[in-house]
Chain A
Amino acid sequence: MNYLLRKLGFYAIACWAALTLNFVIPRLLPGDPVDILLAKLSQRGATVTPETRKAYATLLGGDTDASLPSQYVTYLGNIFRGDLGTSISYFPAPVTEVISASMPWTLVLIGLATVIAAFLGILLGAFVGWRPGTWLDSLVPATTLLAAVPYFWLSLVLVYVLSRVLNLFPAQGGYDVILSPGWNLEFIGSAVYYGFLPALTIVIASIGGWLLGMRNMMVSTLSEDYVLTARAKGLPDRWILRNYAARNAVLPSVAGFAISLAFVVSGSVVTEQVFSYPGIGSRLLAAVTNNDYALMQGVFLFITLAVLGANLVVDLLYTLIDPRTRAR
């Protein structure tokens, strides 16, 4: 229970830190985002009232009337009401609308790809680490090549080979444009077909890390006394592998999920851009190129909160698989 409270407390603080970072960044850095934004807004044919100006100044800084603490309070208030401002690149849609339209794409893509990569990597790592010193094990260092390849480069090469030369997969987009998005079989099939290459990129680039971490932990676990005891008792090898060695070796991989996820999210932002995938990563980059600061901040906040949420879920699962956290 203590562990749970500590975790919840930590995520509350992390969440606050993310919100504050989002508030501080535009105020600390040079440049005048509000003026650029308002100029673009009036280009789009919106009427810029003093209220609009004030709303953006609260979000991005540059408000001279209110003191910094009161700006901060207004900012937090706006966030909790779900008001992140209006996007200029998708004018007149509010930022939250743009985000909620693109969020499912990214969630499904990254979620599935991460789960597949983690599952395969841990499985392979367990088997390789179980018999250290075989020819398969000596190939493990080669997987670092996969981890060191830039995501976007790999995805462009995959696009070139699999979709331009072999013509197997579509190179761009998230679904067939002649279909209208909806929960029907045809559309989901098309989304899976279009999402295959981006997912493949993420899986290839992130599987090495999982494999290596699991392999190293397996090797360490195998020299533990309880594994020796299990062997001495004459338990079948499979049983020892699954219930003694792998079960304990997997714990650091699960605990280290936060680091892996942050890497995957970072990589997939660029991957989405390469595939023009309709997810949140390409929205973020579009926002940067269009100086759409409100959208930029909103997307950053959403990505961070989603990563925090995923980590919280994994930490809660961790209490299930590691009884020691509950004992304390």
Chain B
Amino acid sequence: MTNTTVPVELPAPAPSRRPIPAWRMLVPTMTPWLAVGLALVAGICLFGLLGPLFVGDPDTIRDVGLAGPTGELWLGTTQTGQDVFAQLAHATRGSLQIGFLVGILATVLSAFFGIYGAYLGGAADEVFSLLTNVFLVIPGLPLVIVISGFVPRESRGLWTIAVVLALTSWAASARVLRAQTLSVRNREYVAASRLSGERAWRVIVVEILPNLLPVLASQFVFAVIAAVLGEAGLSFLGLGASGSSTLGTMLFYAQNGFALPLGAWWWFLPPGLLIALLGTGLSLVNFSIDEIVNPKLKNVRMHRRRMRAQRRTARKDQR
């Protein structure tokens, strides 16, 4: 695992006249997969943000229980005649809320333990990375289940669940951040900044953090995926935040209302599918961020494009 510098890219066959501006290096190239990912994420976020404003009250009870999708009720009704589509909109909002909350908390935690520890170096780094590794090997969900089991139902609020999920999910990204920080820490400009007497937080925020932005972004996206999935699992088991409405609680009620055995797929499939699509969208966005973190992955796509271009010119020459 040698951490050599990235090989200098040979000039592309058709060199562009203008130099590429620096900010372009921090923005992912638009690829079809990235477009799909962004569309999925944006669509689901909009649905969660604006959807609840347009749908009716999700708790209204009608006398048509377990009715299939119709023109009026797009996704049919639940056992007690509640509008599944309206529930879906509210639940998406709930899931996104907890996802982003946990994402932010976990990223802050991992940044603290990963970046600060690596920056300090020495004994502090040893202790921080030991703590990180211990949290990494302790399985998250069983721990969350045990904690939720001890907290009485009435005091199990949104924040409790968010903090518990964040506490169990920061370790993996702290390790990644630590490795990255270690490689940035010893560069000349960081040393210069330290020698000139800058305070630690300023060196970290101004000199080191910009280099880690792509990594931080990708870790944040991962944290959001993990949080949405983790919360869904907890709520499905009936251990989620009390009084909350998320995709997980929807699945919990669907499962307890025997949605699938009764053939009510419109009640059970959409929440899970929405979680999967949100996760997919975020991962696809992450692929493009990964290309910035690890330029070797980008070479593949560039190589492919060059091959295609060559083939095209070869075909033209034949004619």
Contacts and interface: CB of A to CB of B under 8 A. Distances in A.
A160 B262 CA distance: 10
B139 interface: yes
Contacts of B275: 148-150, 153
A285 B130 CA distance: 30
User: What secondary structure prevails in chain B residues at the interface with A?
Assistant: helix
B283 interface: yes
Contact of A132 (B1, B145, B276, B304): B304
B284 A219 contact: no
Contact of A29 (B1, B150, B301, B304): B150
Contacts, number: 174
A115 interface: no
Interface stretch (A178-186, A189-197, A261-269): A261-269
Nearest to B261: A164
Interface stretch (B22-30, B82-90, B100-108, B231-239): B231-239
B197 to A, nearest CB: 36
A31 interface: yes
B229 A150 contact: yes
A262 B143 CA distance: 11
Given A30-B151, A153-B251, A153-B272, A304 B260 contact: no
B148 interface: yes
B50 to A, nearest CB: 23
Tell me which of B146, B230, B237 has the highest count of chain A C-beta atoms within 10 A of its own C-beta: B146
A190 to B, nearest CB: 23
Tell me which of B141, B151, B287, B307 has the highest count of chain A C-beta atoms within 10 A of its own C-beta: B141
B260 A262 contact: no
Interface in B22-77: 33
A269 B137 contact: no
A323 interface: no
A33 B283 CA distance: 41
A311 B251 contact: no
B149 A259 contact: no
Contacts of B141: 265-267, 269-270
B276 A149 contact: yes
A317 interface: no
B280 interface: yes
Interface in A262-297: 262, 265-267, 269-270, 273, 284-285, 287-289, 291, 293, 296-297
B150 A148 contact: no
A29 B156 CA distance: 11
A220 B233 contact: no
Interface in A38-95: none
A304 B148 contact: no
B252 to A, nearest CB: 10
B225 interface: yes
Interface string B293-306: 01011011101100
Given A132-B304, A269-B141, A148 B134 contact: no
Given A141-B33, A293-B150, A219 B297 contact: yes
Contact of A141 (B146, B251, B268, B287): B287
B297 A216 contact: yes
Contacts of A148: 225, 229, 275-280, 282-283
A300 B147 CA distance: 10
Nearest to A292: B149
B233 A287 contact: no
Interface stretch (A10-18, A118-126, A231-239): A10-18
A20 to B, nearest CB: 10
B137 A29 contact: no
B151 A29 contact: yes
A288 B239 contact: yes
A243 to B, nearest CB: 19
A249 B77 CA distance: 50
A295 B33 CA distance: 47
Contacts of A13: 130, 134
A253 B279 CA distance: 22
Contact of A156 (B237, B255, B296): B255
A284 to B, nearest CB: 6
Nearest to B304: A133
Nearest to B301: A133
A153 B254 CA distance: 11
B233 A147 contact: no
B149 A293 contact: yes
B163 interface: no
B133 interface: yes
Contact of B237 (A18, A153, A223, A270): A270
Given A216-B294, A273-B237, A288-B148, 11 more contacts: A33-B150, A132-B303, A141-B33, A147-B279, A148-B229, A148-B275, A157-B272, A159-B260, A259-B136, A266-B142, A296-B146
- 8 smallest A-B Cβ distances: which pairs? A148-B279, A266-B141, A153-B272, A144-B283, A133-B304, A288-B149, A132-B300, A29-B150
13 contacts: A13-B130, A18-B138, A30-B155, A31-B150, A141-B283, A148-B229, A148-B275, A149-B272, A149-B275, A153-B275, A223-B299, A265-B141, A304-B138
Interface of B: 1, 7, 33, 130, 133-134, 136-143, 145-152, 155, 172, 225, 229-230, 232-233, 236-239, 251, 255, 260-261, 268-269, 271-272, 275-280, 282-284, 287, 290, 294, 296-297, 299-301, 303-304, 307
